[in-house]
Amino acid sequence: MTAGAFDAATGDGPAADAPDGRRAAEVRVAFEGLMQIRRLTNTGTDDPLAVPAAWEINQVVRSVALTLEAAGITPSAVDAAGARSATGYRVGAGERPGTARVEWLGPPGGGAAQEEQEALTRCASELGRLGWTALLYRGPRRRRFLEVEPPAAVRPR
C-alpha cells in the first residue's frame, strides 16, 4: 500500500485501527468513487450501478473487498506473526483468472466455521445486489467459500 492511499481490507492485514470513524469515512468515500466509476463507464446499460465496471473486473479482489467492507461486513485480520486475530471475510484471488474467493475465517477455536454459512450468504447477497455472481461451494475439510465473478454479460472474452 502506498502511504496515504486507500486499500480495501481483504482480511489478510492487521485489524483496522483508524480512530473516531475515520476508516468508515474512507470506505464510504472509496465506495462512492466506485459507484461514480460505474455511472461514468457503464453507459450502455439500463442501470449502470447494477453492473461491475471494467475497472472492477480488472481488480476483482480489491473491488469485492471494498463492496464487502462498504456493506459493513467485518474483515478478518492477522497479527504481526501472521496468525488470524479476528473473525471475518477474507478475499483472495480465485482459481480462475478474473475471479475472487471469499472465505469466512477467524482465530482457531473462535467459531468461524459455525458462522460461515450465514456470513457467506450475507456476503453473497451484498455482492449480488451490485451485480456480481457469487456461488457458495464447500471445499477441503468441508469449509464453505464463495467464488465471485462478474456476470457473463460483462466478462472479458
pTM of this prediction?
Answer: 0.91
Average the pLDDT over 4-11 and give the result: 87
Phi (first) and psi of residue 154, to 5 degrees: -120, 5
Across 62-84, average pLDDT: 96
Whether the Cβ atoms of residue 100 and residue 41 lie closer than 8 Å to each other: no
Q: Which three cell numbers stand for residue 15?
A: 485489524
Q: What are the pLDDT digits (tens) for 96-114?
A: 999 999 999 999 999 999 9
- The helix (H) or strand (E) run that includes residue 103 is strand 100-105
User: CA-to-CA distance for 12 and 101, rounded, in angstroms?
Assistant: 13
Is the pLDDT reported for residue 4 higher than 70? Answer: no
Q: Beta partners for 88?
A: 105
Least confident range from 13-17, 48-52, 86-90, 115-119: namely 13-17
